[in-house]
Amino acid sequence: MTVKTIATPPRTGPARTLVMIGAGAAALTGAVLLSLVLGSKPTTPLEVWRVLTGDADGFTATVVESRYPRTVLGIVAGAALALSGTLMQGVTRNPLADPGLLGVNAGAAAAVVTATAVLGPTSVTATVWWALPGAVLAGLAAHAVGSRGGDGGMVRLVLAGAVVSAVLTAYVQALGLTFPDVFDSYRHWVVGSLAGRDFDVVASVLPVVAVGAALGLAVSGGLNALALGEEAAVATGANTAWVRSGGLVAATVLAAGATAAAGPIAFVGLAVPHVVRALVGVDFRVQVPFALLAGPTLLLVADVVARTVVRPTELMVGVVTAFVGAPVLLYAVRRMRETT
């Protein structure tokens, strides 16, 4: 079974590609500045500049410096989720695929609740070290069970991911109902948030995300051939087994790193690839680097909204991305209906 992709604009030329990449970099820079300036305690760009130059009072410096880790984490997690979603949709040729398709979110959640049940509530950094292997193992298990190559293999892979997610979700619910402390800890993690993380969390997942991004960049050219269909891709000389396996492993590792650090933030991996295709076209060699800019921009802007919309308290960023991503999902479904 082949899932038709959403109609996309024609491939853009080199000049337009450079312009769009430059615009994406500028947008990300603006999002970073907003993340440093805005929050539950508002500051001004001048105050942020004084903090950066060491000329601010102690209170303002503390406020601004507390935003550094969540801003960096927003960049890392946003890039990982966006690239993971782009790879997942390219490999499966399914515009509704997202990083959680292979049970990555469920694997991370299962590891977190298990650690909490055995060890009691743990720190954010300790949670990362539990969530990361759980997410990776769940994704690789789904890949091992369901991947056989070809479009039929993709259907089996998606079904295997659904089975892994269902089993692990049932396990999480059972532990949550049995141990109240587990549920209390899990309910804060499961929504997804950049708050309360420090640079130790970023350092824990950065090598994993870097490996996944490098692998994703390596297979991006092969995704163009894969988009033509299995037979056409083989005819062009593409190593489809390498492209599929490499893309899926990269998507799994990227999603695992982001989920372990920030929780299962919804819709970034689903929405960003659609925005990227609309802006830069169908060439995955352009989509992949642009996703690395668009993902952090979306996540940082969502985090700023989460910090300011109910000031002085905060929403979790996963709530905001859900509100943003839901309309994108409806739009994608409608476009699929029009093109099938």
| Three-state secondary-structure class, residue 71 | helix
* Side-chain-side CA neighbours of residue 316 (13 Å): 17
| Share above pLDDT 70 across residues of the chain, in percent, rounded to a whole number | 85
Q: What pLDDT, on a 0 to 100 scale, did the predictor assign at position 47? A: 83
141 near 103, Cβ under 8 Å? yes
pLDDT tens string 119-153: 776 677 777 788 888 888 888 888 777 765 555 55
Q: What pLDDT, on a 0 to 100 scale, did the predictor assign at position 106? A: 86
Q: What pLDDT, on a 0 to 100 scale, did the predictor assign at position 10? A: 45
Distance between CA atoms of residues 130 and 272, nearest Å: 27
Query: What are the per-10-residue average pLDDT scores of the chain (340 residues)?
Result: 43 72 90 88 82 78 86 93 90 80 84 81 74 84 70 70 88 81 72 82 89 89 76 69 84 87 84 86 86 93 87 80 75 61
Please give the model's pTM, rounded to 2 decimal places: 0.85
Q: What pLDDT, on a 0 to 100 scale, did the predictor assign at position 297? A: 94
Instruction: Indicate left, alpha or beta for 281 from its phi (over 0: left) and psi (-120 to 50: alpha).
Output: left
The domain defined by 14-339 folds into ABC transporter involved in vitamin B12 uptake, BtuC (1.10.3470)
